[in-house]
Amino acid sequence: MGVFEALGQSYSDDDLAAFQSQYNLPRQKISKIVGPNDPSSCSSDPNNCVEATLDVEYIMAMAQGAPMTFWSIADENGDIFLEWIKAVSKASAVPQVFSISYGGPEHLQDQGDMTLFSNEVCKMGLRGMTVFVASGDDGVAGYEARNDKSKCGFKPEYPANVPYVTTVGATMGPALNPPRDEEVCMSNKGSIITSGGGFSDHFDQPTWQTAAVQTYLSTGPNIPPKSMFGTGRGYPDVASLGNAYNIVVGGQWFQVSGTSAASPVFCGMVALVNGDREQAGKNPIGYLNPILYKVDKSVYNDVSDGVNNCCAGGDGSPVCCKYGFSAAKGWDPATGWGSLDYPLFAQAIANLP
């Protein structure tokens, strides 16, 4: 398994060791580092390492013992995602699962680069690799509206919008005080982020999700005016808890939230399933999305409460837009199909050819 990192993010093995010790996890180091990593930067400024540390500590906690690759991109001048996937495609051996916790507004991207990235991820799926992407932390409007309500609207995220990645939204509830049932992660209801989701304006809607999308748009609660959002690829596909994660950075403990927690956690679960398949003499699952929409829905914890109309807001007063997508029974563009009932999911995927 592997994680994608950029924007100068690093991790420290000392922090990883402290995290593993605190939670009685087996001591395990990262097997392979590709690209830059500066552990000393974690002590000088924890912000240099928060994202990468969250990814590393929790994917390794989920899939204990799986060989781990830290793959970072140094060049920030072009499309970091396209640069990364091109490098991965040239490698002779690659991780079976990869988690990406980064993204940006679709409308600010080069359309050709987005298409090239999507095509390359498709090819890697044929090689047995599954790519997971966080759905974003600012609801339907994106970070541009975080400090400016006039920027509200429906702004899909890249690469969460790519049909060949599995996009992971965030839920909350069990870790709140007092605990609540699982619901959309919402900045105005106890978290600091809101799970992103919506419909791409660039990528067409894949046939494997058409029925699920049509059901949501025809029966879902409080659907925004359909003229306001796109008709393309809907996301997220699935979700995982994304609120109140404890991490250690530069020797200090922090509590963080985000779809960037949900993605590596879900990715680690699929790494475990690939291990089951390997023991049975089967190939890694590879391109996962069509399976997620076909599999018996008993493998999911359906999430039907919450709405993603607010942006992230750590100060407790987030910008909340008029419209967002509400969670609903079945698939929805806030939590996808929901989180996993892992034993049922693992059995279902392991039993596939």
Is 40 annotated as catalytic?
no
pLDDT of 263 reads: 98
The active-site residue, picked from 5, 15, 55, 237, is 55
Instruction: Decide: 337 and 329 in contact? Cβ < 8 Å.
Output: no
For 98, list phi and psi in degrees, rounded to 5: -135, 140
Cα–Cα nearest to 66, from 275, 261, 260: 275
Mind spelling out the 3-state secondary structure of 162-183?
A: CCCCEEEEEEECCCCCCCCCCE
Q: In whole angstroms, what is the distance from residue 146 CA to residue 323 CA? A: 15
> Structure pTM?
0.97
pLDDT averages per 10-residue partition of the chain, 353 residues: 97 98 98 97 97 98 98 86 96 96 97 98 97 98 95 98 98 89 96 97 98 98 97 98 97 97 98 97 97 98 98 86 98 98 97 94
- Judge if the upstream peptide bond of residue 159 is cis by omega within 30 degrees of 0: yes
Answer for the pair 260, 101: CB distance below 8 angstroms, yes or no: yes
| Closest to 171 in 3D by CA, of 304, 36, 73, 61 | 304
Residue 138 to residue 337: CA distance in whole angstroms: 20
Which DSSP letter does residue 48 get? G
In the chain, the DSSP E strands lie at 2-5, 32-34, 69-72, 97-100, 104-105, 130-134, 157-158, 166-172, 183-184, 198-199, 234-235, 238-241, 245-249, 252-256, 300-301, 339-340
Cis peptide before 46 (omega within 30 of 0): no
Paired with 72 in beta bridges are 5
111: its two tokens: 């359309």
Is 204 a catalytic site residue?
Answer: no
Say how far apart CA 283 and CA 276 lie, in whole Å.
10
CA angle 270–275–276, rounded 5-degree value:
95
In Å, how far from its chain's centre is CA 190? 20
pLDDT at 314: 64
Token readout for 39 is: 């552990």
Catalytic choice (15, 51, 144, 237): 51
The pLDDT of residue 179: 87
Q: What is the pLDDT of residue 178?
A: 87
Q: Which two tokens stand for residue 76?
A: 């920030």
Residue with tokens 């809101």: 194
Q: Which two tokens stand for residue 297?
A: 């829905």
> Of 41, 240, 260, 304, which one is the catalytic site residue?
260
With contact defined as beta carbons under 8 Å apart, do 279 and 288 qualify?
Answer: no
55 flagged as catalytic: yes
**Domains annotated on the chain, with CATH:** 2-350 (3.40.50.200)
Dist. CA 305–CA 323, nearest whole Å: 15
